[in-house]
Structure 1
Amino acid sequence: MTTTPEVDGYRVVKNLGIIGAECAFGMNVFKDLFSSVSDIVGGRSGAIQSTLRDARTASLTDLKREAYQKGANAVIGVSLDYSEFSGGGKSMLFVAVTGTAVVIEALAE
């Protein structure tokens, strides 16, 4: 998987289309509390960073699975989008990942 439109040393031999994966993680009251403290005193929120990392990893894993199911051996043009939804006392972190599933082969030297 790569964010670039091509892979050095390889060529795309088949484009299998756009694929995507999404992941939503709930933020519990303790993570919300710790992030509020970080907002007040400054610094990074380890709890939120960990949740974002978990959501990104889960989304990329799902994207790989979808590519494999389509017969791809690579995903190019990968894009990640992060959002936060909140309301009614609840917060959710949302990660959406898209890319193009392709079959690539090494260039002849």
Structure 2
Amino acid sequence: MLVTTTNTVEGRRIVEYKGLVAGEAVTGANVVRDLFAGVRDFFGGRSGAYEKVFRSSREAAIADMQASAAAMGANAVVGVDIDYEVVGARGSILMATACGTAVVLE
């Protein structure tokens, strides 16, 4: 299934709009990951553990959105937007949301 942030697909015509689709993924962080991220913050550099959490959350949200679009009979999702939010009492939960418009391309 084609997924794009643009509202059109070059060389392809949208023949039917199926509707809005969204996918969500909620991922919890753990104490060990927080500890190593804190060390990285202190000394500088990238936090591979958190990057992995962001990547897997984004991929899960997109897969969930694609499944919803497929269930509607779409073969593409256009205008995709991905948002992240930190939730929970201590900000230890990451929520990724992907949403777009399910369409049928010719």
TM-score under structure 2 length normalisation: 0.93
Shift of 1:86: 3.9
Whole-Å separation in 1 of the counterparts to 2:69 and 2:88 = 31
The answer for unaligned runs of 5 or more in structure 1 is none
RMSD across aligned positions (CA): 1.1
40-49 or 78-87, which deviates more? 78-87
Over the matched positions of the two proteins, sequence identity in percent amounts to 43
Q: 1:9-55 deviations in whole A, cap 9, x for unaligned?
A: 11111111111011110001011111111111111100000011111
Shift of 1:104: 0.8
- Runs of 4+ off more than 4 Å: none
- Looking at secondary structure, tell me which structure has more strand per residue: 1
1:66 to 65, 68, 71: 68
Shift of 1:83: 1.4
TM-score under structure 1 length normalisation: 0.91
Whole-Å separation in 2 of the counterparts to 1:3 and 1:45 = 27
Higher radius of gyration, 1 or 2: 1
Q: 1:64-85 deviations in whole A, cap 9, x for unaligned?
A: 1000000000000010001112
